[in-house]
Structure 1
Amino acid sequence: MKNYPVPLIMLAKLANNTYEIIDGMQRLNAFFGFIENEFSYVNEENELYFNVDDYTFAKSLYDKDVFKANRGEKITTEEVAKFIQYQFPVTIFESHNPEDVNETFRRINSNGKHLSPQEVRQAGNTSQFANLVRKLSSEIRNDISQEVLLLSQMPSISIDSKNLALGYSILAEEIFWRKHGILNIPGLRNSNDEQFMADIVLSIIYNKPFGASKDTFDECHGAGESNLSLDIEQKLNKFGIACVEKAIREVFAEVITFLARRDDKWRLKNILNPKARQNPVKEAFYILFMAWYELHSEQMYLFNDDMFIEAILNLHSTFSKKGNSISSQERRKNIDSTKGRISRAFKESKNKNSVSELVNAMDVHEYLARSKIETSSIELKQGLLSLDLNVTRDFSDANFEKNIIINIAAIANLGKGRVGRIFLGVTDKPSDTDRVVQIDKIQPHVVHSFSIVGIEREALVLKKRWMNM
């Protein structure tokens, strides 16, 4: 619009005659974002939007409800033509070897000016370690995207915040790490959650706290003075990738289950370090997580929340961290100390399966995130009893058939091999949530835009134990 030059865009031509963006994703995303009226062009004091009616292709997408057009003032027909006729400087890198493409990407971004250190480490890294870190991190973020995305899908995995309001799908304030003050928003946008997950994985497979620093993280991803990536792959295979993933998911599930029993405004950060203010409590949570992991490995489970909260109050003050790195030895001392403090709030499980069953807490969070896109295979129901105050709240075969059996039949009709799920005790409508709060006098637990209201409230109405429902 102002005749500013656009830097070179690099594409990789793949074997199936498709193209992958190596460099220039943000430029292309901005170009198409303007066409789709995601933002305006400011000319002097006027905010002008792209005129969809003057571009046939954009108009056809708008008519299909692919995007919403802004009703504000539009740029002229001549400006539309000038914009869409702009020729991008493009270079195409042809290779049938994915590793060549990945190496090219790493070299372009190796100076870290555009990507954070962790993003550069993970970029194009297809090792088992890197893939495990990606998978676990995306689950905690409730990011259920695929590994390969269309350009138009990039906003669905991008992190936004209430202050920035960029229109991306993942709101930082709702992510576990930010909600509980473990990481701040800039840290999340720089993939520090993946670095934290790498820290946890490395500590588990080496059976000792990882000596975290920029250099050691680089070495673990195949960069730096020493290449530890081969040794890490061997350690992972010896421990068992599935076992590492299962252990981490189970401990996170226990943490999430504990937090779900607190008030929705309760923040872990305020307990771990009451004086933290705007500072994250990443190291304090690492120490707590590893202590919890070791107790979990000993078949211990949390049974006294109040005792646990008392034990971790101002945990941050009980250990020190020097500079931007901390030694494995210092971390070991801190974990041992924390384990001793919290162990009295844990007790041994008589049923060896009872601890691992808590992994369902993470599963529920993931399925709720998926329900937004897998609408036909995931059904959410507030419960089995009616919320209508004009009828008797009792179990009804007719109501059960209408709300459950018919949905089971619909899921079965999706086809062979398709899996569906029905969640009871979850509301996806604010009106239903308000009704439950009014009738059953409970405080729902909010996950994304859904409210977990449970079915114990209905058991109380029927005077039955919820496990027998």
Structure 2
Amino acid sequence: MAVTKAAVDKGTLTQKTPILPRDVCVMIASYQVPFSIFEFASGESVDDVFRRINSGGRKLSRQELRAAGSTGHFSTVVRRIAAKIRGDDSSSDILRLNEMNLISITNKDLAYGLSIDNIFWVANGILTKEQVRESRDEELVGDLVAYMVSDIPPSSRSEFLDDFFGLSGNEEASRKRREDIELAVQRRGTHVVIKDFSRVFDELVYTLSQSNKSFTGLLFDSPVARAPRYFQVVFLAFYTLIVKRNKVPGDKAALFRKMDGSYKSITVAEGGAWGADQRVNAVNAVVGVYESSFVDNNNTDPAAVHWITQLENILGQSYTEQANYDFKQGFLLLDGSHTFDTESFAQILRTCVGIANIRKSTRGYVLVGVADKASTAGRIEQLYGVKVRPYDRFYVTGVEHEAQAIGKNLDQMFQLIVEKIKQSSLSDDLKGHLARNIKSVRYYDLTVYVFDIEAQRDPSHLGGTFYERAGAQLEAVPTTDVVRLVRRYS
């Protein structure tokens, strides 16, 4: 503070207004902040002191203590899956403090962040609001992941989760459980475990959306306060059928009927530990009830892949990382002519260049079939009679109506876009990457095209012009400034 005051006195620093009264500044500057200094020989000692500090005052929940300092494969998978479901996921583990409120869990009285009432666990009656605030959703995800990756599914019990996260001591049994779960996740690959979880979760979310009921509303005859173990059984039954047996829901109407009131077929332990055999038997019993409504998955159509969680995460991440994401309502003009919008497509390609040029190792997306203005969504509904699906401040419109308007099916339209990418004047590396990695994904009943962008070995350009993104703005890089852009890749 003394250095700052001296800079103000010298005029090298201009003080902003309004200025706090001197007596208030004195009170702030003279406030006593107690602190202690510890010297540590190991990271384990830091974690131990952290946990001891949190033994008094407002205690952290058991799961918050487990997660503190746990950086293994298992804890990483659990953290990332839980964040994706809540909607506070980010593409980077580093987030500016002034952006944290944009993805913080909040309530209806605050005009920012993620409404806790809309988070999947609360909206579907699986966990209470307070349980989500205590990170009980991560406990639930941890139990599910442990079952998914283990050759012999473990019991669902607090002590085992302590071991999996490395919170227990160094007893041989605890250490072995920790090593086994780490090896199991590593063997499968964190990416594959997250992908499998998302596949099953999205199919379950889609099934619930088709039933027009919440999870507990569908399973139970009367309202219940919470149902985490019932969710475990149903999710793991879906996992067994979708991932292990490579099936997909076939007769959805029949599946709704079988899920309706199916809590009667589920036996779960109330409170305390839930034995491994009990959980396996409960899952197998529900598999037997649901299986006849599933069929073999012989469909390799990329448009059949649900991207419900992934797409919603991208929409959420765009608040804090605007430069990495962009959204377009479609490829056609909205003047009623059903004409391909050449300029809009060129802008998509310029945006892809700008995202690729943010820096080395950048990853970003342009989603086509998503409007960010209510007026645009309204115009599409007016022109094509599309039932737009809103999510937060976005409106998912899909591209089916455009394909139909130009006399093509989705496969033909997808090929048309790929050919336009190949015929463009994009730099070769980025052109090849986009043509290979563009995706056609499903968001509920709508198809969205995803331009999947990665930074290339060298700066990218379109027709010799380099572009870069500053927030949501796209700017051409002046010729005199190209050297600065090249330095990012050196």
State the TM-score, normalizing by the size of structure 2: 0.71
Whole-Å Cα distance in 1 between the matches of residues 304 and 96 of structure 2?
Answer: 36
How many Å apart are 1:149 and its aligned residue? 5.7
8 A contact 2:327–2:371 mirrored in 1: yes
Match of 2:138 in 1: 194
How many Å apart are 1:156 and its aligned residue? 5.1
Which deviations, in whole Å up to 9, do the C-alpha atoms of 1:223-247 show, x marking residues without a partner? 4586534333334424635446524
How many Å apart are 1:110 and its aligned residue? 4.4
- Does the residue aligned with 1:421 lie in a helix, a strand or coil? strand
Matches within 5 A, 1:61-210: 78-79=23-24, 81-95=26-40, 97-110=42-55, 113-145=58-90, 146-147=92-93, 155=101, 158-163=104-109, 165=110, 169-210=113-154
The question of 1:275 aligning with 2:222 is answered: yes
Match of 1:49 in 2: none
Whole-Å Cα distance in 1 between the matches of residues 28 and 255 of structure 2?
Answer: 60
Whole-Å Cα distance in 1 between the matches of residues 333 and 154 of structure 2?
Answer: 53
Match of 1:320 in 2: 267
Which deviations, in whole Å up to 9, do the C-alpha atoms of 1:131-152 show, x marking residues without a partner? 2221221222222345466665
Matches within 5 A, 1:68-467: 78-79=23-24, 81-95=26-40, 97-110=42-55, 113-145=58-90, 146-147=92-93, 155=101, 158-163=104-109, 165=110, 169-223=113-167, 228-238=174-184, 240-243=186-189, 245-257=191-203, 259-260=205-206, 262=209, 266-277=213-224, 279-296=225-242, 297-325=244-272, 326-351=274-299, 358=305, 360-388=307-335, 391-401=336-346, 403-415=347-359, 417-467=361-411
- Shift in CA distance, 415/190, structure 1 to aligned 2, threshold 3 Å: closer
- Does the residue aligned with 1:91 lie in a helix, a strand or coil? coil
How many Å apart are 1:195 and its aligned residue? 0.2
Whole-Å Cα distance in 1 between the matches of residues 138 and 350 of structure 2?
Answer: 41
Q: CA RMSD in A?
A: 3.4
Whole-Å Cα distance in 2 between the matches of residues 384 and 439 of structure 1?
Answer: 14
One-letter identity of the residue aligned with 2:246 = Q
How many Å apart are 1:347 and its aligned residue? 0.9
One-letter identity of the residue aligned with 2:412 = N
- Does the residue aligned with 2:258 lie in a helix, a strand or coil? helix
One-letter identity of the residue aligned with 1:422 = V
8 A contact 2:163–2:178 mirrored in 1: no
- Does the residue aligned with 2:390 lie in a helix, a strand or coil? strand
- Shift in CA distance, 127/395, structure 1 to aligned 2, threshold 3 Å: closer
Match of 2:488 in 1: none
How many Å apart are 1:76 and its aligned residue? 6.3
Which deviations, in whole Å up to 9, do the C-alpha atoms of 1:33-55 show, x marking residues without a partner? xxxxxxxxxxxxxxxxxxxxxxx
How many Å apart are 1:409 and its aligned residue? 3.5
8 A contact 1:443–1:453 mirrored in 2: yes
8 A contact 1:118–1:192 mirrored in 2: yes
8 A contact 1:103–1:124 mirrored in 2: no
Per mean C-alpha deviation after superposition, the further-off stretch among 437-446 and 179-188 is: 437-446
Whole-Å Cα distance in 1 between the matches of residues 211 and 374 of structure 2?
Answer: 16
Match of 1:47 in 2: none
Which deviations, in whole Å up to 9, do the C-alpha atoms of 1:60-109 show, x marking residues without a partner? 4xx8xxxxx9xxxx996634542454222222334474333222112222
How many Å apart are 1:115 and its aligned residue? 0.9
8 A contact 2:88–2:103 mirrored in 1: yes
8 A contact 1:254–1:358 mirrored in 2: no
Which deviations, in whole Å up to 9, do the C-alpha atoms of 1:323-344 show, x marking residues without a partner? 3133222222221111111112
Whole-Å Cα distance in 1 between the matches of residues 328 and 182 of structure 2?
Answer: 40
8 A contact 2:250–2:293 mirrored in 1: yes
For structure 2, list consecutive stretches of 5 or more residues without a partner in the other structure: 1-12, 414-490
Match of 1:21 in 2: none
8 A contact 1:254–1:359 mirrored in 2: no
Whole-Å Cα distance in 1 between the matches of residues 150 and 366 of structure 2?
Answer: 40
8 A contact 1:387–1:436 mirrored in 2: yes
8 A contact 1:425–1:454 mirrored in 2: yes
One-letter identity of the residue aligned with 1:304 = D
For structure 1, list consecutive stretches of 5 or more residues without a partner in the other structure: 1-56, 64-68
Per mean C-alpha deviation after superposition, the further-off stretch among 265-274 and 421-430 is: 265-274
8 A contact 1:141–1:175 mirrored in 2: yes
Whole-Å Cα distance in 2 between the matches of residues 153 and 397 of structure 1?
Answer: 35
How many Å apart are 1:117 and its aligned residue? 1.2
Q: Pick 1 or 2: higher relative contact order, CA cutoff 8 A, min separation 6.
A: 2
Which deviations, in whole Å up to 9, do the C-alpha atoms of 1:9-46 show, x marking residues without a partner? xxxxxxxxxxxxxxxxxxxxxxxxxxxxxxxxxxxxxx
Which deviations, in whole Å up to 9, do the C-alpha atoms of 1:181-223 show, x marking residues without a partner? 2222111100011101110121123334442233333344344
Whole-Å Cα distance in 2 between the matches of residues 142 and 259 of structure 1?
Answer: 14
Which deviations, in whole Å up to 9, do the C-alpha atoms of 1:149-180 show, x marking residues without a partner? 666565455421215x3x66332223222232
Identity value in percent: 24
- Does the residue aligned with 2:36 lie in a helix, a strand or coil? strand
8 A contact 1:174–1:448 mirrored in 2: no
How many Å apart are 1:257 and its aligned residue? 4.7
Whole-Å Cα distance in 2 between the matches of residues 347 and 355 of structure 1?
Answer: 18
Aligned residue pairs, count = 396
One-letter identity of the residue aligned with 2:311 = V
Whole-Å Cα distance in 2 between the matches of residues 59 and 264 of structure 1?
Answer: 59
8 A contact 1:213–1:324 mirrored in 2: no
